[in-house]
Structure 1
Amino acid sequence: MLQELSHMDRITQLQDEIQQLLMIMSTSIAYLTSRANFIQVSPQIPITKQRNPEKYDTPEVFEANKKELVTDLIRKAKQVEYLINSLPEPEPEEIQVSISFVTSAKAPPSLCVDAQRLQRLEEEMQLANVDYIQAVNRLKTLHAQVSELLRSMLTEVDERLVDGAHISNGGNGDASMAL
């Protein structure tokens, strides 16, 4: 369980690092498009627009900032790569789907032990389920017996009360005359 939580912590860290990487990429693109001056890339295509000098950085500052952005991107990408490499290897689909594959000689011993433990737990669960079903059936039988016993006892008490009232009033069925 603890190992699973640490894997989840790594996944959460990975999500955070990827979000930060995307933020760095986004701000880098925003900086590069907003603070760069237009330059002519081909002699056939003239520059048709000029930016105000306050709106772009000097070539030296722009190059220094580009290097810093690249360094930030590389550092963050390496952190993401490290977190990805620290995650456990995914199990092959055959192992996920079939326990029989895991118990074969092809699987690593640790997986065989885990699979055998799972099979034992499965067998124990099936036995416990059989015991549970038997207990529920026994409970239903006992419930029916107790219900029948209570019904018969109440019927006897009702009959005695009716018979007692009938005898005490002289057999005419009028309880007020017996007083």
Structure 2
Amino acid sequence: MPGLEDEQSVNMDKLTQLQDCIEQLLLIMKLAVVQLVQRSDFKQVSPDIPVTKSRPKDKIDSPQKFEENKRELVADLVRKAKQIELIIESLPAPEPEQAQAARFEQLEQEMQKVNEEYQAAVERAKRLHKEITAIFRELTNAENTTF
């Protein structure tokens, strides 16, 4: 069934693309968290709790740069999420149970037929092996008697 194999190949390619995109999305998320944490300074969130630590100024982005980076990271996340959504939408809908059952039944019948053909081929090979072995024995016996 070349059509089925081609369809499965295309679907596996899509699943591989989906897996790659999800991994890329997770990487973007990780890098976003790292970027936002490492390139910002500590801020006081309560008047009762003072900030006791700060980052070097050359390691901190300006507020404008920080906002620009946030927007870029969000755009990257949204772009990758849309790409994932498109891949998911392109995947085929799951088959109804009756269709799956019919397909499995058909595959089972095909498998039984192929197995019967295989068994017949094995039996034929065994018969041929016996015939060839018998011929070789006759030849070696004939050779031994002529000497």
Aligned residue in 2 for 1:17 = 21
Structure 2: gaps (5+ residues): none
Change (3 A) 1:141 1:76: closer
Give deviations 1:7-48, integer Å, cap 9, x for gaps.
Answer: 232123223322322332232222212221221111221011
Shift of 1:66: 1.7
Length-normalised TM-score, structure 2: 0.74
Work out which of the residue numbers 6, 9, 15 in structure 2 matches 1:2.
Answer: 6
Which one scores higher on RCO, CA 8 angstroms, separation ≥ 6? Answer: 2
Instruction: Give the Cα–Cα distance (whole angstroms) in 2 for the partners of residues 155 and 55 of structure 1.
Output: 95
Structure showing greater Rg: 1
Paired letter, 1:75: R
- Give me the TM-score of the superposition, normalised by structure 1: 0.63
Which residue identity does 1:142 align to in structure 2? E
What residue in structure 1 maps to residue 138 of structure 2?
A: 149
Query: Any idea what the Cα deviations from partners look like across 1:128-165, whole Å, max 9, x if unmatched?
Result: 1332233133223313431342244224312xxxxxxx
Q: Which amino acid aligns with 1:41?
A: V
**Percent identical across equivalent pairs?**
37
Q: Distance in 1 between matches of 2:27 and 2:133?
A: 69
Structure 2 residue matching 1:107: 3-state secondary structure: helix
Q: Distance in 2 between matches of 1:20 and 1:154?
A: 74
1:10-89 mapped onto 2 (5 Å cutoff): 10-88=14-92
Q: Partners of 2:112 and 2:59 in 1: how far apart?
A: 73
Summarize the alignment of residues 155-174 of structure 1 with structure 2, pairs less than 5 Å apart: 155-158=144-147
Match of 2:98 among 93, 98, 107: 107
Alignment match of 1:132 (pick from 113, 121, 145): 121
Q: Aligned partners of 2:22 and 2:108: how far apart in 1?
A: 39
